[in-house]
Structure 1
Amino acid sequence: MTLSIRRAVAADRAGVLALIDGARGDGLSAAERAERGFVQGHFDEAKLAAMEATTGIYVAEEDGRIAGAALTGAASSVQDGGPPRLTVDAAQRAGLAPDRCYLYGPVVVDPSFRGRGVVRNLLRAVDAHLGERFDHGVLFVEQSNLKSLAVHRHLGMHEAAEFAVADRRYTVFSFASGTFRDQPAGSSSPA
């Protein structure tokens, strides 16, 4: 069985939303959420359609089954005052031009596909598709999400900034376009 990566289409929305809902960590203790990772934010078909029409959603699939998904958005189009806006602001303070950055995430992987390089393969595809248009990818991770912090550190992403919303602390990661494009599976990228 071979994992393939492609840009999502409307028919993928239900599967992507199911992955996101399954990755929320609802019903888990704080320790279990930290260990397994979790997804935040509101996503529905309209929001996915808007992402598909701009920078895109990328899905990893095997034999027609969605193994994972990476959502992206143009940093310059972020409107709300929550973590996405604060991520763009932090990236700008770190010297990155918002019109040359895209937001990466969330990224979700079906539990049965974890440990198989799905995130790295998704990043390769995202980088290949968006790297000519944007200089950097940026993302935020809540600091209580130990699993996600570990994954993005393992991938070699640069910790560019931090911010807080109420009692929650976040780390902003960035990576230069081209970082993952030609990287073989299983290797760490440069910071």
Structure 2
Amino acid sequence: MQLLVADLADIDGVLTLHRKYQIDTIQEGDKKDGFVTTSFTREQLTKLIQEEQGLFIAKHEGAVVAYVMSASWQFWAAWPIFARMIADLPQLEYAGHQLSTENSYQYGPVCVDKAYRGSGLLERIFDFAREKMADRYPVLVTFINQINTRSYAAHTQKLGLEVIAEFDFNNNHYLELAYDTSKSLRLP
């Protein structure tokens, strides 16, 4: 298993995995095990790679089997849900920081192929991405749809993210979570 900062040659593999678990294209039977709500284009992933160095992947036998997206709020601002989160940042505090677009970044989506779930890969790719972003930002922020119970459990129980707020958007209820990027998961 390789953990890598993605390059442009990895986009097709990321999009293949993404479509498998994105809410609009996921098989109905797989929804209960978690899903990704945001959709992405090749152009958006190109920008994420070239301008943010914020696409982290796990490859096994040449195939992308997991990814984590992490980027500045400026990158995410074009999506309405992230614009909402940006507007709320000044009212939030975490790990001794009054949150802002300068001291926090948006983590996620994250996706792990179901064949690799429960193997420790989530923890490994999370910590890899966290370490790469920690020099730029002291706080990671993300959101999880309240009905995505598997993702909530994984992020709070396995990774240690903490709920800092709740919000409604587009008829969905979300939990907003944060993590101190100076804290390693201390993986074996």
1:156 alignment partner, SS class: coil
| Residue of structure 2 aligned with 1:116, choices 107, 111, 119 | 119
Q: Provide the C-alpha distance between the structure 2 equivalents of 1:77 and 1:10, rounded to a whole number of angstroms.
A: 17
Aligned partners of 2:176 and 2:105: how far apart in 1? 13
Q: CA deviation at 1:27?
A: 4.2
Which residue of structure 2 aligns with residue 158 of structure 1? 162
**Separation (CA, whole Å) in 2 of partners of 1:136 and 1:161:** 15
- What residue is the counterpart of 1:139 in the other structure? 142
Q: Is the 8 A contact 2:55 2:69 kept in 1?
A: yes
Q: CA RMSD in A?
A: 1.8
* Residue of structure 2 in register with 1:15 after alignment: 13
Match in the other structure for 1:57: 55
Aligned positions of 1:39-188 closer than 5 A: 39-53=36-50, 54-80=52-78, 82-94=80-92, 95-154=98-157, 155-180=159-184, 183-185=186-188
Amino acid at match of 1:60: A
| Structure 1 residues not aligned, in runs of 5+ | 186-191
Identity %: 22
**Cα distance 1:91–1:158, how it changes in 2: closer, same or farther (>3 A)?**
farther
Conserved? CA contact 1:67–1:118, under 8 Å: no
Q: Is the 8 A contact 2:69 2:109 kept in 1?
A: yes
Aligned letter for 1:79?
A
Spell out structure 1 runs of 4+ moving beyond 4 A: none
| Consecutive unaligned residues in structure 2, runs of 5 or more | 93-97
Q: Count the aligned residue pairs.
A: 179
Deviations 1:84-109 (A, max 9, x none): 22233333311212112111111011
Cα deviation for residue 81 of structure 1 reads: 5.5
Task: Pick closer, same or farther for the CA change 1:112–1:78 going to 2, 3 Å.
Answer: closer
Alignment-mate amino acid for residue 65 of structure 2: A
8 Å CA contact retained: 1:91, 1:160: no
SS of the aligned residue for 2:182 comes to: coil
TM-score, scaled relative to structure 1? 0.86
The whole-number CA distance in structure 1 between the counterparts of 2:128 and 2:170 is: 35
Q: What amino acid does structure 1 have at the position aligned with 2:28?
A: L
Distance 1:46 1:88, change over 3 A: same
In the superposition, relative to structure 1, how do residues 176 and 7 fare at CA in structure 2: closer, same or farther (>3 Å)?
same
